[in-house]
Each structure stands twice: as C-alpha cells, then as structure tokens.
Amino acid sequence: MQPVYQANAQLDLTFTRLVDVPRALIWRAWTEPALLMPWFCPLPWKTIDCEIDLRPGGLFRTTMQSPEGAEFPNVGCYLDIVPQEKLVWTNALLPGFRPSQPAATSGSDEVNFLFTAMVELADAEQGTRYTATVIHADEAGCKQHAAMGFEAGWGAALDQLVAMVQRGF
C-alpha cells in the first residue's frame, strides 16, 4: 500500500517548474554526491560535503557553508525513492528511521524546524516537470521556511542544477 500525501496550505510549501533538461540527469544531480554539491544551495552559500545512501532508511547528509565560513551539517533519512520519479526525505528521522531533534538548518539557531521534503519529476513536452514540496511539522516552521525564501532559494538551487546539467557533467 502506497502512502498518500495530502496537501495542507498551512503546513506545506511547494512549487512546480518546467525545466529544459531530461529527468534522468536531474535524478543523477539529486542522487550522486559529486553532482549534488555544486548546485544544492543558492550561491554564495556552498555545499561542502555530502553523503547519500539511496534507500529507504538511508542517510542523506549535507554540510552547507555560509559566505562567512560557518558550517551547518544537515542529517536526514530517505523515506521513499522511486527512481527518476520521486525522492522523499526528512530531517525528523536519522538513518535507520531513528527519531531526530530539530537542528539549525541555515545559519540561525532560530531557524530549526522539522520537515519532510519531496522532489517529483515527470516528463514534459519541453523536458521535465519538477515539483518540490516541503511539509512542515507546524505552522511556525512553515512560516520560518517561507520567510527564509523557500521558493526563491529552492528555485535558485534548481536554476543552478539546470545550468550545471546544460553545461554537461
């Protein structure tokens, strides 16, 4: 039985874009650490480390670095993986589905919220329909994430991913 996601406008942030690159290459950029690191967070931030164990319960770990050089490790757990179609992960669980504690996600101790994220890919006439959704545990976390610039930030990262794919790996 497949789990069913039910959207909640008070708790979820989402956007969809059509991008002119094949979904197989977007999938690789999301699932291979060396390909994820160059684009994963909007410049001038950097992703300086990444580890991926691509299976349900597997590790998804990144370390982001602020322009000032501060490092912010993020550890999560994959929940659902449909190759070249869907990735679902959360920072509410550690690898092996162990419960986690909220941690600072982006340079501020006040910005520490639990979430589940989904990236969904589908063929489109001009390339790929890319949908990113972040499901928050509460309205406060959703509002914090929106105030951080969810769509602008995730959109800038997607633009960086597309540019990288178009340049060639």
37-69 pLDDT, tens digit per residue, is 999 999 999 999 999 999 999 999 999 999 999
Please choose, from the candidates 117, 126, 114, the residue with its C-alpha nearest in 3D space to the C-alpha of residue 157.
117
What integer pLDDT is reported at residue 101 of this predicted model?
Answer: 77
Which CATH number does 22-167 carry? 3.30.530.20
Q: 56: which 2 tokens?
A: 């349900």
Rounded-to-integer distance, Cα 167 and Cα 58, Å: 30
C-alpha of 105 from chain center:
12
The overall average pLDDT reported for the chain is 92
169 exposed, middle or buried (CB, 10 Å; 0-12, 13-18, 19+)?
exposed
Do you know the residue count of the chain?
169
77-89 residue pLDDT tens:
999 999 999 999 9
Which residue ranges make up each domain of the chain? 22-167
CA 144, 147, 152: angle at the middle one, nearest 5?
125
Return the residue matching tokens 């602020």: 66
> Which one-letter amino acid corresponds to residue 79?
L
Sheet holding 86-90, edge to edge: 12-19, 127-136, 115-124, 86-90, 71-82, 59-65, 46-52
Whole-prediction pTM: 0.91
pLDDT in tens, 105-154: 545 555 578 899 999 999 999 899 999 999 999 999 999 999 989 999 99
What is the SS3 assignment for 143?
Answer: helix
